[in-house]
């Protein structure tokens, strides 16, 4: 909207925009207090002057979106936002242009193995974990979220940067193989981390043959990625396309030969999720009766938080653009 005309939304800053359309926590909320105390400690280490630090903090109060009793972010004035953007937007939906098959979602639940659960609980509760005489620490919240998700995928990232498998049996990989037993067509398999992708690819080649699967992620050269994509699209023997959502989820055509998608792990990005889903649900997917989409969720872990976050973002997007709520994931 700013690119089109700075007067469309009538807000001079992102902060003002957020304050108008979001329900924000007040200055005395526990979250705000904790952030301000942490920031004060950091500034005191640098300036050693409490009066100066207090003056600086007056201009650094965080804008935290409040959540309701179910943990969903709270917004307001969305009808006003719809009216503001309506004269400048025009949408044509896939369902109005193409006769695509329905998306069918299914969630598969797994339990972490003993080693995963022990390390996961340690890191969640104490911000540090030990396994095989190695240490993993994550004092920062964003790092901790990433490390916890890596653990659900079966991997322990040491302080030295090495990766250790947690246990002999990876529950998510076992669940993936169970799903594939009932799949007769081609399959897209998505995961966030390279360790997961490499293990998935190796497992598939061991189970179904060296030519059964191809990979598509950052470590693979552009030339090889193109070759792998073309192999998956055109070679009947190549049934499995293994990729990161961000790497292979946007802009690739030809993947609609698949009628099944499996999400071994998800990023927090809604656009990456939606774009990756639609690699198998676009013009050309009419050849299928349906597109099956599986999510593998480790119970009592961050997996649920990530999926719930994606659902909340999708619901908000639907509301802002005026779409009816849809059951998703």
The reported pLDDT for the residue numbered 284 is 93
pLDDT (0 to 100) of residue 185: 96
Residues 237, 278 share a domain: yes
Alpha-helical (H) ranges within 209-329 are 222-234, 245-248, 270-277, 302-321
**Distance between CA atoms of residues 310 and 112, nearest Å:** 22
Q: If you average pLDDT over residues 246-250, what whole number do you get?
A: 88
The answer on 206 and 270 residing in a single domain is: yes
SS3 content of the chain, % helix, strand, coil (to 5): 45, 15, 40
Buried/exposed code over 273-306 (b: 16+ C-beta within 10 A; e: otherwise)? bbbbbbbbbbeebeebeebbbbbbbbeebbbeeb
Dump pLDDT digits (tens) for 188-218. 999 999 999 999 999 999 999 999 999 999 9
Domain CATH number, residue 200: 3.40.50.300
Weakest mean pLDDT among 32-41, 78-87, 121-130? 32-41
Residue at 284 is within a domain: yes
Structure tokens at 280: 């198998």
Q: What angle do CA 37, 122, 244 make, to 5 degrees?
A: 90
**How confident is the model at residue 27, as a pLDDT?**
81
201 located within any domain: yes
Question: Which range scores top for mean pLDDT: 10-14, 40-44, 283-287?
Answer: 283-287
Confidence of residue 235 (pLDDT cuts 50, 70, 90): very high
Between CA 89 and CA 100, with CA 94 as vertex, the angle to 5 degrees is: 175
Mean pLDDT of 25-44: 87
Tell me the sheet residues that pair with 24: 65
- Rounded CA-CA distance 277/296 in Å is 15
Question: Domain for residue 329, yes or no?
Answer: no
Residue 47, domain member (yes or no): yes
Whether residue 278 sits in one domain with residue 203: yes
Q: How does strand 128-131 pair with strand 134-137? A: antiparallel
**Domain identity same for 126 and 254:** no
- Whether residue 183 is found in the same domain as residue 137: no
Quick: pLDDT tens for 66-115: 988 888 889 999 999 999 999 998 888 888 889 999 999 999 999 999 99
Mean pLDDT across 249-276: 94
Residues 148-167: b if buried by 16+ CB within 10 A, e if exposed:
bbbbbbbbbbeeeeeebebb
The total number of structural domains that make up the chain: 3
Domain ranges, residue 67? 14-87
Cα 256 from Cα 258, distance rounded (Å): 5
Query: Are the C-beta atoms of residues 291 and 105 closer than 8 Å to each other?
Result: no
The answer to whether residue 70 is domain-embedded is: yes
Per-residue confidence (pLDDT) for residue 242, from 0 to 100: 98
pLDDT at 151: 97
Q: What is the pTM of this model?
A: 0.84
My answer on whether 151 and 231 are in the same domain is no
Residue 61 clears pLDDT 90, i.e. is over it: no
- pLDDT for 30 equals 87
pLDDT at 244: 96
Coil vs helix vs strand at 292: strand
Measured CA to CA, the distance from residue 220 to residue 325 in angstroms comes to 39
pLDDT of residue 321: 83
Asked whether residue 61 falls in the same domain as residue 105, the answer is: no
Residues 67 and 178 in one domain: no
pLDDT of 176 over the 90 cut: yes
Instruction: Concatenate the DSSP letters of all residues of 153-164 into one string.
Output: TTEEE-TTS-EE
Tens digits of residue pLDDT in 295-316: 999 999 999 999 999 998 998 8
Per DSSP (E only), the strands in the chain are 103-110, 128-131, 134-137, 155-157, 163-165, 186-190, 213-216, 240-243, 258-263, 291-298
Whether residue 264 is predicted with pLDDT greater than 80 in this model: the reply is yes
- Is 138 found in the same domain as 49? no
Length of the chain: 329
């Amino acid at each position: 909207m700013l690119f089109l005309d700075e007067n469309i939304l009538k807000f001079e800053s992102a902060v003002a925009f957020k304050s108008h359309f979001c329900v924000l926590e007040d200055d005395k909320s526990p979250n705000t207090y904790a952030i301000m105390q942490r920031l004060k400690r950091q500034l005191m280490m640098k300036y050693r002057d409490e009066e100066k630090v207090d003056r600086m903090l007056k201009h650094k109060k965080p804008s935290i979106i409040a959540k309701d009793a179910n943990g969903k972010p709270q917004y307001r004035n969305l009808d006003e936002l719809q009216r503001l953007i309506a004269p400048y937007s025009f949408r044509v939906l896939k369902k109005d242009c193409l006769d695509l098959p329905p998306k069918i979602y299914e969630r598969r639940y797994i339990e972490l193995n003993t080693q995963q659960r022990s390390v996961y609980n340690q890191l969640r509760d104490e911000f540090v974990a030990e396994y095989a005489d190695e240490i993993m620490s994550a004092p920062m919240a964003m790092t901790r979220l990433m490390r916890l998700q890596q653990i659900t995928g079966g991997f322990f990232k040491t302080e030295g940067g090495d990766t250790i498998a947690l246990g002999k049996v990876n529950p998510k990989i076992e669940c993936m193989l169970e799903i594939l037993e009932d799949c007769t067509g081609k399959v897209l398999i998505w995961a966030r981390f390279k360790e997961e992708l490499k293990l998935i690819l190796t497992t598939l080649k061991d189970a179904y043959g060296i030519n059964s699967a191809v990979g598509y992620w950052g470590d693979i050269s552009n030339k090889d990625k193109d070759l792998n994509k073309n192999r998956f699209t055109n070679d009947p023997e190549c049934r499995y396309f293994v990729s990161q959502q961000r790497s292979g989820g946007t802009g690739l055509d030809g993947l609609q030969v698949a009628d099944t998608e499996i999400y071994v792990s998800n990023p927090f990005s809604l656009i990456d999720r939606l774009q990756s889903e639609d690699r198998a649900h676009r013009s050309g997917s009419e050849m299928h009766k349906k597109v099956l989409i599986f999510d593998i969720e480790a119970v009592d872990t961050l997996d649920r938080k990530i999926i719930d976050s994606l659902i909340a973002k999708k619901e908000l997007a639907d509301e802002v653009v005026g779409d009816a709520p849809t059951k998703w994931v």
